[in-house]
Amino acid sequence: MKDNIIRKNIKNRIFSLIICIVFSLFFILIAQNLPLYNTRAIAIASSCPSIYFPEDSWDFGEITPDELPTYIFKFKNIGDEILIIKEVKVSCESCIDPLISTRKLNPEEEGELKITVNSIDMIGRFNKRIYLESNDPINPQVVITISGFIKEKNESIFQPQTKIQPQPQTPFRIGMSYFGKGEYDKAIIEFEKSIELDEKHTESCYYLGQCYLQKGIIEYNNKNILKAYSLYRKANKFAEQVIPQYEKIIEDNPADLNSYLKLAYIYETRSIVPFVNEYDEALEYYLKALDLATSSSSALAGNTGIIIYLNTRIGYIYFEKKKNSQAIEYLEKAKEMSPQNVEVAYYLGLSYNKIGEKEKAREFLLRVIELSPQSEFAREAEKKLKKISK
């Protein structure tokens, strides 16, 4: 009896050892396959100018006739290169007056965008946009939205005036503010509060998953592979939850660009894990999003920031699928609109190299080093150039 127990214990230990070995090998495989994707994500965020607005919308509430209300949006350069504001455009030149405090910001420097609403000859509800274009290669165009309600001139003359208060800061909006600053633990708390208020709040679930994904990337770069994998699993749990929600939104509203973008990004990021390849799904949604963004009937027609982003992502996925001619087609479109985009230049260099056009490959890889010499892209470009020169 005792011998049977001993043999059983030995078998259990051997089984546990095998499981541990398999588990360890799996994480080693992850470590060998993830570096370029994850370091690229970090490099993009830090080795270039990067514009950040804590707020991107404001509701003025109820405005009295002939009033000229103002609001100041603060913004900051959270990158490590000089940020240059190229242009500020508005959707209504006669009713919105934008004034920017500075057009050149050093790293960590702050600026202000003062918006004045001219309510003369306006009446009723309004919703206007301000477009701020900069040399931020990842987010070249920021869209600021303002709204409010302008009363008729003779309205409320004999009635007490009640001013509608601006929209309160909800847990979701607070969470987005923390997320934009990279304070993921604080963002998680706020997104969880938002889900407690509405368990079907799709955007809160999506960004909660993104928080865990970004925390996983950080842990991976700190060589904490097991912790990174645990965080990736949490991120994937929320991805599985929101995929059918976004699909339902698209079913109800086929022109909902946001849902196409979110679904595409989910499938793209899930494909970085070994043995998972969902690039076809990502490509499908990115292409549909591009069709919407470039449609003349779309409210976003002419939004160059979104179009650059989509051409870049589509080009990158075609590169991963080893369809280099298609990759070049879309990356060239992105380059025409954003010549300073480091990621675009990098993947153009790799794609041209794959089809045997060595000179063009060198040209773009050298361009990467010139644009952002301290970035991960530049370090990888140097390695590729050495191989091409052999």
Neighbours of 172 (CB within 10 A): 19
Can you tell me the distance from the alpha carbon of 339 to that of 362, in angstroms, rounded to the nearest whole number?
16
Distances (CA, A) of 224 to 11, 21, 240: 31, 17, 24
Model confidence, pTM = 0.59
Predicted confidence (pLDDT) at residue 14 exceeds the cutoff of 60 = no
* Residue-level pLDDT at 46: 38
Can you tell me the distance from the alpha carbon of 350 to that of 384, in angstroms, rounded to the nearest whole number?
8
Can you tell me the distance from the alpha carbon of 359 to that of 365, in angstroms, rounded to the nearest whole number?
10
Task: Tell me the pLDDT tens digit for each residue of 41-81.
Answer: 333 333 478 888 888 788 877 777 656 788 889 998 887 78
Distances (CA, A) of 67 to 94, 124, 273: 14, 14, 56
Query: What percentage of the chain reaches a pLDDT higher than 90?
Result: 31
Q: What is the average pLDDT across 275-299?
A: 84
DSSP letter for each residue of 330-383: HHHHHHHH-TT-HHHHHHHHHHHHHTT-HHHHHHHHHHHHHH-TTSHHHHHHHH
Distances (CA, A) of 173 to 54, 287, 303, 386: 10, 29, 23, 47
For the ranges 85-94, 185-194, 286-295, the lowest mean pLDDT is seen at: 85-94
Task: Tell me the pLDDT tens digit for each residue of 182-235.
Answer: 788 999 999 999 999 988 889 899 999 989 988 988 888 788 888 988 998 899
Can you tell me the distance from the alpha carbon of 308 to that of 303, in angstroms, rounded to the nearest whole number?
9
Tell me the residue ranges of DSSP E strands in 82-179: 83-90, 96-100, 104-105, 110-117, 124-134, 141-150
Nearest alpha-carbon partner for 351 in 334, 326, 368, 376: 326
Nearest alpha-carbon partner for 101 in 126, 75, 83: 75
